[in-house]
Amino acid sequence: VGSHQEIYESNEYYRKLYDIQNKEFRSPDK
């Protein structure tokens, strides 16, 4: 299934992607 480290890194990667998308969608001045 993958080591705990791999799961943590993938989770952090997707969390960063999600945060970036959220900032772009929320920022009205762009």
pLDDT tens profile 1-30 = 568 888 888 889 888 888 877 776 665 665
The C-alpha atoms of residue 24 and residue 26 are separated, in whole angstroms, by 6
The C-alpha atoms of residue 1 and residue 4 are separated, in whole angstroms, by 9
Domain ranges of the chain: 1-25
What's 28's DSSP letter? S
Q: Which residue has the tokens 């929320």?
A: 26
At 29 the pLDDT is: 61
Number of helical (H) and strand (E) elements in the chain, helices listed first: 1, 0
Which phi and psi angles does 28 have, rounded to 5°?
Answer: -80, -25
pTM of the model: 0.40
